[in-house]
């Protein structure tokens, strides 16, 4: 990527947001938290994947999916199936009446591995499934709904029904899925014990890395014409259609991307927490994922990460000390975020904190003219004039630095 | 799957499951009517609808407690009073919610959905705090117990019959209200064209509030009826909300007749299949069927092709 | 069903019914190369429905619409646009959250597929085209402005500009001067005169003075059927037209 395209993708202010988030996640938290708490943060971050996807679907595209848990579950269960098979080798399951199959199948009188489990012996297949399953599923649902112009609340209700269907199915077919308990007792990944502290550290960093991969993809989409088209469609769908675009395709695309993000999150959840269960798939978790996104700010991908972290951290600490207050707080949050601050934390930051931060930085770099405070929206300036401006403003940051 | 049954056995199975389905149908209709009024007429998604229903159930429970303690001689008719109270309490809360929340969100349907979900969480926790997490049930007066024996294999439970009668009665009342009363005309005028309705002197804010309150009140009555066939817990309402929404959407949001027909289809399909496979699979199949039909006909079963 | 013609647009036997109500009933008319056709008629005559039918927003019950001998009734909306038909809506339909530049850019006919849009680059060609169009629609100095903040008249112009970016062979305008001040009307008439070179235009309009300024030929619709067709003067003096529409 040339320098010019890079600075178009990451204008200075947004770049700072990415760097600050990277420092917090990759340096500050690992240094200040013990492994138990860090593992919890890792778990919260898996929801951030979903929230970032929702920013694209809902914030930009105006498509509210109340079934993101389905995608989270697809990724999580795919990973769990692989790990479960590895934990169910004939040696360690020899006390079962059929050794070599997962324990819950044995309890449900299954005598051989169902055919759709077979490919999950392969790690390569599992990784491919985590990416492709949500794409395929998202594509089918997307084509069926968006090509027929189902949208808005109808789409929300139907995706919610899908989440309900999947949960009922998983619980009902316990011989194939582990039922209501989910898939537990996952042990190793290629012989590497996932329950040790060192594994938890490793997976935390893998999770942070993957989150930044998703954030970069999301940022690329936001900054492309596709991002602007999504905003345009949210506003005047017909105008976009009569400007020569097949609107449904764009919605399908962004719905699939959101699904893939959620599935990666689900897979990271299984790896870090060590189990997967239908309670993470259904209606309630799916709609909670929307609130992570809304609290962060439905138009901010960075905000979505903070939203997921803060709401989940609050949930944990509330549930530890005042479990009965948590639902009140959560319910209040839903109402407040809709009625009082619809742009979430990012909106609050932009209104109240950003001017002060800008002033601070302007003072810090006084030798340069304080352009930053009144920087014009860069998206509009014709790109010919851009490199001249940005070269003097952007601190030189090696691209690799933000990955870690 | 029919092979192992004889024809007469199959017939009575269908009849039996049909009766069970009719009771499910009544619950669906009672819940869906309120929802259809609110969603179909106002375009508002009320995710807390189940909690309004449960509110009616708890009011009924409290009334039955009061009667059995203080007025045991009048116990056989407490139910009538309970239903009226359930309606009033749920409608009053509905009016309050409309005033405090919904009216600020009329042109943001997805946000209404999230806000009312928040309300439903708060109400659930409130019920848990006040009434405890355990499910409560009411004692039915004698005349509602027992059943009529129709044939050797088919019997009709009296409470089920009563709920069905109630469902039919309320449907009729709502239909008359919507299509024969002046208020119904006003509501439909506001739905068609809010600005114009306002311009000809209809107080649209008041119509909205009454509509929302009425929908919630009917949910309260539904909850009251619900206590006669099942027990009530803080989260009972949530179990039905998705099904009910599908009923409303399936029927075509603005058509009362459609709502009733779709409640009938869905409840019968589910209860008939329930006999032949596990409850969860029949529910999965029913929901999938509804989702599939909605994909073929997104506007629902009973909507007219209109000029845009 | 119908044979090929030399017309840009050939509408034959077009009918659409909504639950038995025929909003457009057996309509036949032809539009020539570089012709400006104005459709007038009382409210509910089916004027907007005709535009909806041509651009695919409403599906015809019966009949055919041929654009350069290509049947449009079978095509989907975006395919009709790609064939060269552009349409402006009655109420200004612009993207309020985007800037004027971005509004115009979206209508630039390149990168219309999902991956095309991802790969779309804002190069010299796009930028100069946007500037050119913006100057034509009197918004040359407003490019960085959020479109929501424009006045009603400016929004109408912006939508016309979006269509110019698209460069259609057949341009359909639904009441382009509705809600405009007298000055804006004058400017719009000039704008329309300058953009209708080298293309055919269908305009729906009520303002008879404006109609007389621009029309080559006028079609009067009444209850989904053609009441009269011809030059402005001919139509103006038609007793049937005076009775149902122009009044006394």
Residue written as token pair 């005047």:
A236
Q: Is C19 within 8 Å of B308 when comparing Cβ atoms?
A: no
Q: Which residues of A78-102 are buried (b: 16+ CB within 10 A; e: fewer)?
A: bbbbbbbbbbbeeeebeebeeebbb
Is residue C236 over pLDDT 60? yes
Alpha-carbon separation of residue B15 from B160, B163, B228 (angstroms): 15, 18, 22
Q: Would you place residue A396 in the very low, low, confident or very high pLDDT band (cuts 50, 70, 90)?
A: very low
What is the arithmetic mean of pLDDT over A164-188? 89
Strand order in the sheet with C225-230: C85-88, C170-174, C200-204, C36-40, C217-222, C225-230
Quote the minimal CA–CA distance from A297 to chain C in Å.
Answer: 16
Q: For B113, which residue in chain A has the nearest alpha carbon?
A: A153
Tens digits of residue pLDDT in A15-34: 888 999 999 999 999 999 99
Q: Quote the CA–CA distance of A111 and C45 in Å, as a whole number.
A: 72
Could you tell me if C112 and C196 are in contact, meaning their C-beta atoms sit under 8 angstroms apart?
no
C223 burial via Cβ count (<10 Å: 0-12, 13-18, 19+): middle
Q: Would you place residue A8 in the very low, low, confident or very high pLDDT band (cuts 50, 70, 90)?
A: confident
Could you tell me if A283 and A270 are in contact, meaning their C-beta atoms sit under 8 angstroms apart?
no
The total of other beta-carbon atoms located within 10 Å of residue B259's CB is: 32
What pLDDT score was predicted for residue C3? 63
Q: Is C18 within 8 Å of B308 when comparing Cβ atoms?
A: no
What lies within 8 Å, CB to CB, of A17 at 6+ separation is A302
What lies within 8 Å, CB to CB, of B243 at 6+ separation is B28, B266, B287
Is residue C114 over pLDDT 60? yes
* Alpha-carbon torsion (A121, A126, A132, A138), positive or negative: positive
Q: Would strands C36-40 and C200-204 be described as parallel, antiparallel, or unpaired?
A: parallel
Q: Would strands C170-174 and C36-40 be described as parallel, antiparallel, or unpaired?
A: unpaired
Q: Is A324 within 8 Å of B125 when comparing Cβ atoms?
A: yes
Closest-CA residue to C79 (of C125, C113, C40) = C113
Is any Cβ of chain A less than 8 angstroms from the Cβ of B287? yes
Is residue A312 over pLDDT 50? yes
What pLDDT score was predicted for residue B301? 64
What pLDDT score was predicted for residue C214? 81
* H or E stretch at C232: helix C232-236
Q: Quote the CA–CA distance of C47 and C148 in Å, as a whole number.
A: 28
Q: Is A169 within 8 Å of B280 when comparing Cβ atoms?
A: yes
Alpha-carbon separation of residue C55 from A331, B262, C66, C112 (angstroms): 46, 35, 11, 18
Instruction: Provide, as residue numbers in chain A, all residues whose Cβ is less than 8 Å from the Cβ of C78.
Output: 241-242, 244-247
> Residue C220's beta-bridge partner residues?
C40, C228
* Alpha-carbon torsion (A170, A171, A172, A175), positive or negative: positive
Is residue A196 over pLDDT 80? yes
What pLDDT score was predicted for residue B3? 61
Q: Quote the CA–CA distance of A226 and C116 in Å, as a whole number.
A: 9
Structure tokens at A26: 């990759």
Full pLDDT tens readout for chain B, 308 residues: 556 677 777 777 777 777 777 877 887 888 888 888 888 778 788 899 999 999 999 999 999 888 888 877 777 778 888 989 999 999 999 999 999 998 888 878 888 989 999 999 999 999 999 988 888 887 777 777 777 766 666 667 777 888 888 888 888 888 888 888 888 888 878 877 777 888 888 888 888 898 899 999 999 998 888 888 778 888 888 877 888 888 888 877 667 788 888 888 888 887 778 777 777 788 888 888 888 877 777 666 665 444 33
Q: What is the pTM of this model?
A: 0.87
Question: Whole-angstrom distance between the N-terminal and C-terminal Cα of chain B?
Answer: 47
What pLDDT score was predicted for residue A381? 36
A27 burial via Cβ count (<10 Å: 0-12, 13-18, 19+): exposed
C176: three-class secondary structure by DSSP: coil
Closest-CA residue to A55 (of A368, A344, A314) = A344
What pLDDT score was predicted for residue B30? 84
| DSSP assignment letter at C46 | S
What pLDDT score was predicted for residue A366? 65
Residue written as token pair 């003097």:
A392
Quote the minimal CA–CA distance from C53 to chain B in Å.
Answer: 12
Percent of chain A at pLDDT > 70 equals 89
C25: three-class secondary structure by DSSP: strand
Q: Which site among A145, A150, A331, A341 would you substitute to test the B interface, given the most B Cβ atoms closer than 10 Å to its Cβ? A: A331
Q: What is chain C's alpha carbon radius of gyration, rounded to the nearest angstrom?
A: 18
Residue written as token pair 């819940």:
B31
Quote the minimal CA–CA distance from C45 to chain B in Å.
Answer: 13
What pLDDT score was predicted for residue B264? 84
Closest-CA residue to B163 (of B16, B21, B27, B15) = B27
Q: Quote the CA–CA distance of A227 and A353 in Å, as a whole number.
A: 26
ipTM greater than 0.85:
yes
Task: Give the up-direction half-sphere exposure of residue A39: CA atoms within 13 A in the CB hemisphere.
Answer: 16
* H or E stretch at A117: none
Closest-CA residue to C2 (of C74, C87, C76, C70) = C70
Q: Quote the CA–CA distance of A259 and C240 in Å, as a whole number.
A: 61
Quote the minimal CA–CA distance from B63 to chain C in Å.
Answer: 50
Tens digits of residue pLDDT in C81-113: 999 999 988 888 899 999 999 999 999 988 899
Closest-CA residue to B116 (of B9, B182, B212) = B212
Higher pLDDT, B152 or C31: C31
Is residue A374 over pLDDT 50? no
């Amino acid at each position: 990527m040339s320098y010019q395209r890079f600075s178009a993708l990451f204008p200075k202010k947004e770049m700072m947001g990415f760097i600050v988030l990277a420092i917090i996640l990759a340096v500050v938290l690992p240094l200040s938290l013990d492994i138990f708490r860090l593992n919890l943060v890792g778990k919260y971050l898996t929801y951030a994947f979903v929230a970032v996807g929702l920013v694209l679907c809902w914030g930009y595209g105006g498509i509210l999916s109340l079934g993101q848990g389905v995608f989270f579950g697809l990724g999580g269960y795919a990973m769990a199936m692989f790990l479960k098979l590895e934990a169910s080798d004939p040696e360690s399951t020899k006390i079962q009446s059929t050794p070599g199959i997962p324990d819950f199948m044995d309890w449900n009188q299954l005598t051989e591995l169902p055919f759709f489990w077979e490919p999950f012996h392969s790690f390569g297949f599992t990784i491919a499934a985590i990416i492709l399953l949500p794409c395929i599923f998202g594509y089918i649902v997307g084509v069926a709904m968006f090509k027929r112009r189902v949208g808005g609340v109808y789409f929300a209700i139907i995706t919610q029904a899908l989440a309900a269907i999947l949960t009922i199915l998983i619980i009902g077919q316990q011989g194939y899925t582990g039922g209501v308990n989910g898939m537990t007792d996952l042990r190793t990944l290629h012989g590497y014990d996932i329950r040790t502290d060192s594994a938890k550290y490793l997976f935390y960093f893998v999770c942070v890395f993957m989150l930044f991969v998703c954030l970069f993809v999301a940022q690329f989409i936001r900054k492309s014409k596709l991002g602007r088209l999504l905003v345009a469609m949210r506003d005047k769908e017909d105008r976009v259609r009569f400007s020569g675009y097949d609107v449904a395709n764009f919605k399908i695309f962004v719905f699939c991307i959101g699904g893939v993000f959620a599935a990666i999150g689900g897979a990271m959840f299984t790896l870090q927490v060590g189990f997967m269960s239908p309670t993470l798939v259904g209606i309630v978790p799916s709609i909670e994922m929307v609130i992570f996104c809304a609290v962060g700010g439905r138009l901010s991908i960075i905000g979505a990460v903070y939203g997921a972290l803060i709401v989940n951290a609050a949930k944990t600490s509330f549930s530890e000390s005042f479990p009965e207050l948590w639902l009140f707080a959560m319910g209040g949050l839903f109402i407040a975020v809709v009625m009082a601050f619809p742009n979430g934390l990012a909106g609050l930051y932009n209104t109240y904190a950003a001017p002060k931060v800008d002033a601070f930085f302007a003072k810090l770099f006084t030798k340069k003219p304080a352009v930053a405070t009144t920087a014009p929206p860069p998206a509009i300036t014709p790109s010919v004039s851009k490199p001249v401006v940005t070269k003097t403003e952007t601190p030189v940051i090696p691209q690799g630095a933000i990955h870690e | 799957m029919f092979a192992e049954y004889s024809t007469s056995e199959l017939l009575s199975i269908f009849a039996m499951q049909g009766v069970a389905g009719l009771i499910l149908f009544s619950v669906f209709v009672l819940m869906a009517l309120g929802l259809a009024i609110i969603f179909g007429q106002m375009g508002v998604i009320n995710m807390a609808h189940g909690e309004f229903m449960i509110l009616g159930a708890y009011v009924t429970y409290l009334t039955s407690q009061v009667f059995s303690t203080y007025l045991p001689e009048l116990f056989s008719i407490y139910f009538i009073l309970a239903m009226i109270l359930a309606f009033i309490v749920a409608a009053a809360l509905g009016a309050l919610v409309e005033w405090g929340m919904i009216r600020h969100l009329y042109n943001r349907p997805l946000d209404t959905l999230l806000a009312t979900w928040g309300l439903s969480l708060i109400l659930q926790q409130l019920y848990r705090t006040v009434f405890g997490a355990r499910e409560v049930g009411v004692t039915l007066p004698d005349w509602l117990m027992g059943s009529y024996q129709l044939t050797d294999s088919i019997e009709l439970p009296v409470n089920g019959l009563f709920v069905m009668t109630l469902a039919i009665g309320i449907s009729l009342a709502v239909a008359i209200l919507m299509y024969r009363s002046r208020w119904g005309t006003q509501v439909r005028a506001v739905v068609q064209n809010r600005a114009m309705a306002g311009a000809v002197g209809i107080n649209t804010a008041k119509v909205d509030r009454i509509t929302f309150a009425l929908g919630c009140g009917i949910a309260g009555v539904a909850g009251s009826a619900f206590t006669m066939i099942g027990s009530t817990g803080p989260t009972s309402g949530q179990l039905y909300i998705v099904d009910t929404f599908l009923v409303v959407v399936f029927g075509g949001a603005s058509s009362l007749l459609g709502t009733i027909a779709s409640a009938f289809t869905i409840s019968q399909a589910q209860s008939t299949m329930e006999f032949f496979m596990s409850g969860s699979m029949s529910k999965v199949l029913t929901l999938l069927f509804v989702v599939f039909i909605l994909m073929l006909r997104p506007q629902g079963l009973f909507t007219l092709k209109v000029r845009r | 069903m119908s044979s090929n013609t030399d017309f840009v647009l050939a509408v034959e036997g077009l009918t659409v019914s909504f639950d038995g109500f025929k909003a457009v009933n057996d309509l036949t008319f032809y539009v020539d190369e570089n012709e400006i056709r104005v459709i007038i008629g009382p409210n509910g005559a089916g004027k907007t429905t005709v535009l909806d039918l041509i651009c695919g927003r409403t599906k015809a019950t019966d009949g055919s619409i041929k654009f350069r001998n290509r049947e449009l009734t079978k095509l989907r909306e975006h395919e009709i646009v790609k064939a060269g038909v552009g349409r402006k809506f009655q109420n200004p339909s612009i993207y309020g959250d985007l800037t004027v530049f971005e509004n115009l850019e979206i209508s630039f006919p390149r990168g219309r597929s999902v991956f095309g849009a991802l790969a779309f680059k804002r190069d010299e060609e796009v930028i100069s085209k946007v500037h050119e169009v913006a100057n034509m629609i009197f918004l040359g100095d407003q490019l960085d402005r959020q479109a929501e903040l424009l006045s009603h008249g400016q929004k109408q112009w912006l939508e016309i500009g979006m269509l110019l970016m698209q460069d259609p062979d057949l341009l359909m305008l639904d009441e382009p001067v509705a809600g405009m001040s007298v000055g804006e009307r004058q400017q719009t008439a000039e704008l329309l005169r300058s953009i209708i070179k080298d293309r055919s235009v269908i305009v729906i309009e009520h303002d008879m003075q404006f109609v007389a300024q621009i029309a080559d030929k006028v079609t009067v619709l009444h209850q989904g059927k053609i009441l009269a067709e011809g030059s402005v003067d001919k139509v103006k003096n038609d007793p049937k037209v005076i009775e149902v529409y122009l009044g006394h």
